[in-house]
Copies of this chain bind each other. A is one copy, B any other.
Amino acid sequence: MNVPTQMQALVQRHDGYANTQTGPMIDDLSPLLTHQTIPVPTPGPGQALIKVHLAAVNPSDVHFIKGEYGQPRIKGIPAGFEAVGEVVAGDTPLVGQRVSFFASASGTWAEYAMTDVSGLVPCRPEFADVDAAGQLVNPLTAIAMFDLVRQSGADSFVLNAAGSQLGKLLIGLGRDAGIKPIAVVRRAAQGDALRALGAAEVIVSHSSDAIGAASDVFKTLKPRVLLDAVGDQFTADLFFLMPSHARWVNYGKLSTEKPALGEMGQLIFQNKVIEGFWLTRWMKQTDPTRIPQAFAEIQERFVTGQWKTDVAGIVPLSKAMADLPQVLGKPDGKAFIDARC
Contacts and interface: CB of A to CB of B under 8 A. Distances in A.
A13 interface: no
B260 A258 contact: yes
Interface in A252-268: 252-253, 258-262, 264-268
Interface in A37-82: 68-71
Interface string A247-283: 0001111000011111011111111111111100100
Contacts of A250: 264, 267-268
Contact of A261 (B71, B258, B278): B258
A231 interface: yes
Contact of A278 (B69, B251, B269, B275): B269
Interface string A219-240: 0000000000001000010000
A259 B273 CA distance: 15
B281 A276 contact: no
A21 interface: yes
B267 A274 contact: yes
A65 to B, nearest CB: 15
B278 A268 contact: yes
Given A258-B260, A260-B258, A274 B271 contact: no
- Name the interface size band of chain A: 20 to 34
Given A262-B258, A264-B253, A269-B70, A274 B274 contact: yes
B70 A264 contact: no
A133 to B, nearest CB: 23
A289 to B, nearest CB: 23
B278 A271 contact: yes
Contacts of A278: 268-269, 271
Contacts of A252: 268
Nearest to A259: B261
A272 B272 CA distance: 15
A280 to B, nearest CB: 8
A272 B266 contact: no
A70 B268 contact: yes
Contact of A266 (B260, B262, B266, B276): B276
A219 B161 CA distance: 36
Interface string A90-119: 000000000000000000000000000000
Interface string A13-32: 00000000100000000000
A277 B268 contact: yes
- Looking at A69, A253, A261, A270, the one whose CB has the most chain B CB atoms below 10 A away is A261
21 contacts: A21-B265, A70-B268, A70-B269, A231-B261, A236-B261, A250-B264, A251-B268, A252-B268, A253-B264, A258-B264, A259-B261, A260-B261, A265-B276, A266-B276, A268-B277, A269-B276, A271-B281, A273-B273, A273-B274, A274-B274, A274-B275
Closest 3 CB pairs of A and B: A70-B269, A267-B276, A268-B276
